[in-house]
Amino acid sequence: MSTLTSVWSLVAAFDATLAGIVALSLRVSLTATLIATLLGAPLGAALAIWRFPGRRLLLLIASTLMALPPVVAGLFVYLMLSRAGPLGDLGLLFTPTAMIVAQTLLIFPILVALTHQAVVPLMRDYRDLLASTGAGGLLTLRTLMWDARFAMITAVLAGFGRAIAEVGAVLIVGGNIAGVTRVMTTTIALETSKGNLELALALGVVLLTLALAVNVAMQLLGRLGRRFETP
Amino acid sequence: MIGASLSMAGARLGPPAATLLGPLDLALHPTGITMVMGANGAGKSLFLRLAHGLAAPDAGSVTWNGQPARGTLRQRGFVFQHPPLMRRSVAANVAFPLQALGIGRADISRRVAAALARTRLTDRAHAPAAQLSGGERQRMALARALVTEPVALLLDEPAASLDPASTAALEDLIRATAGQGVKLLMSTHDIAQARRMADDILFLDRGRIIEMGAAKDFFEAPASQPAQRYLDGKL
């Protein structure tokens, strides 16, 4: 009972250290989500719109990599950024930038595969109209991505959810350095191993609250989108 | 020049051994309403797709005013039997073909407003297209096809699922369009509708044109047995 009380007081107090950890978590995962969306969503949509050689293989790779273990993504980025690695000179290892790169890599396949899924049924409906009006490639891509935006929100939120919740990738490339690369999940792992359960639990509460907010937002946007769907 | 003249020369869809349509040879009058008739599976929808340029002929040629249909698609409008509804407002649906033509915003809103007024959809402009009734959907599809001021309009059984009042409203709009010199090419199952509207008839049977000519002659004295059987309600 006393543990719970101190958890709540920690959350309620939301001191500078806690605030810093939460802020870094959000900065890293939101940036990774933004980059993965900007790169992955157009690719996913293109895979739904056009037939070209290698399309099926790309889709297979994307859906396979949706299950990429975070530690493997972290390991890959670590090898690239470590001093002996090809990008070692950039000096990015154990920085928030390295964490953003690792999380972007981790969730990029999710954005590709889920955007593809969102655009496929729309393309089925629109194909004749696009052909009969002679719409060009860029307009086709823009139109489908815009009209699939409510379904694509699910892809973006799934990507963000995976990024904010993972611990393996950011631990390997970030190093969990206090005040520099320490985020919510790595703190929870560390504090638990130290027996400091109050702080670990407090961060768990924050993480769950964020997940709740994300889900509420997803449902509200989904409801908005259904107005445009044929019953 | 008013209207547009469709010509086909040896046009065929599908491989020689399993031809879906054709070979077709025809030259239509550049104005007026040509009704495409025939039983289920005769190839009416496929014929319209070939004529518009949505399908490329496997042999022969399909031209409008001497230009290949495939390259001049944007000069015509097409109304599908089940019009694709974009997940947008009615106005945005109607605006789309103008966007495809690369027309500027100010011009788009002016032309969309005119097309919606013409099809009596002005008060539905901002509703999501998915909320329209069946009759309103077909009128929206017509507005979307007419907004580019096409030289020809192709319609695939546009009234197939409409009630009598909606059908009458749609027919009035189609007739008015034809009256402005736009070539109309329309398929129908409804013999009464064809009698009301057609200037010419093109009768298809198993992917071939077996009768082509003035509507009056076709209805009074069909030359072929399949057409006679169709008009008697036996095909």
pLDDT digits (tens, 9 = 90+) for A159-196: 999 999 999 999 999 989 988 999 999 999 999 999 98
Smallest Cβ–Cβ distance between B80 and the set A128, A143, A225 belongs to: A128
Q: Are the Cβ atoms of A228 and B87 closer than 8 angstroms?
A: yes
Could you give the CA distance from residue A109 to residue A96 in angstroms, rounded to a whole number?
Answer: 21
- What is the average pLDDT across A107-121? 95
Could you give the CA distance from residue A14 to residue A23 in angstroms, rounded to a whole number?
Answer: 12
CA distance A170 to chain B (A): 39
- Reported as type and span, the H/E element at residue A6 is helix A2-13
| pLDDT of A231 over the 60 cut | no
Percent of chain A at pLDDT > 90 equals 64
B178 token code pair = 């034809």
Q: Across all residues in chain A, what is the average pLDDT?
A: 90
Q: Are the Cβ atoms of A133 and B74 closer than 8 angstroms?
A: yes
**Which pLDDT value is given to residue B142?**
93
**Which pLDDT value is given to residue A9?**
77
- Reported as type and span, the H/E element at residue B35 is strand B33-37
**Which pLDDT value is given to residue A2?**
67
- What is the average pLDDT across B59-86? 93
**pTM for this one?**
0.84
* Strand ranges inside B142-228, DSSP E: 152-156, 183-187, 200-205, 208-214
Q: Are the Cβ atoms of A228 and B80 closer than 8 angstroms?
A: no
Closest CA to B119 of B107, B133, B137, B131: B137
Q: Residue B49: helix, strand or coil by DSSP?
A: helix
**Which pLDDT value is given to residue A153?**
86
- What is the average pLDDT across A31-38? 97
**Which pLDDT value is given to residue B52?**
96
Which whole-number Å values give the CA distances from B231 to B44, B45, B167, B223, in the listed order? 16, 20, 21, 12
Q: Which residue on chain B is closest to A151 by alpha carbon?
A: B87
B27 token code pair = 């030259």
| pLDDT of B77 over the 90 cut | yes
Percent of chain B at pLDDT > 70 equals 100
- Within the 94-153 window of chain A, which residues sit less than 8 Å (CB to CB) from chain B? 122, 125-129, 131-136, 139, 143, 147
Contacts of B88 in chain A (CB under 8 A): 147, 228
Q: How confident is the model at residue A8 (pLDDT cuts 50, 70, 90)?
A: confident
- What is the average pLDDT across A80-107? 93
**Which pLDDT value is given to residue A210?**
86
CA distance A128 to chain B (A): 8
| pLDDT of B22 over the 90 cut | no
Q: What is this model's ipTM?
A: 0.87
Contacts of A133 in chain B (CB under 8 A): 73-74, 96-97, 100
**Helix H segments across B38-179?**
44-52, 90-100, 105-118, 134-146, 164-179
- What is the average pLDDT across B93-115? 94
Q: How confident is the model at residue A230 (pLDDT cuts 50, 70, 90)?
A: low
**Which pLDDT value is given to residue A130?**
95
If one compares A230 and B160, the residue with the highest pLDDT of the two is: B160
| pLDDT of B64 over the 70 cut | yes
Q: Which residue on chain B is closest to A224 by alpha carbon?
A: B128
Closest CA to B143 of B188, B171, B173, B180: B173
**Which pLDDT value is given to residue A1?**
53
Pairs across A and B, CB distance < 8 A: 54
Could you give the CA distance from residue B22 to residue B56 in angstroms, rounded to a whole number?
Answer: 13
Smallest Cβ–Cβ distance between B74 and the set A126, A129, A134 belongs to: A134
Contacts of A134 in chain B (CB under 8 A): 73-74, 100
Contacts of A136 in chain B (CB under 8 A): 100
Q: How confident is the model at residue B65 (pLDDT cuts 50, 70, 90)?
A: very high
Q: How confident is the model at residue B145 (pLDDT cuts 50, 70, 90)?
A: very high
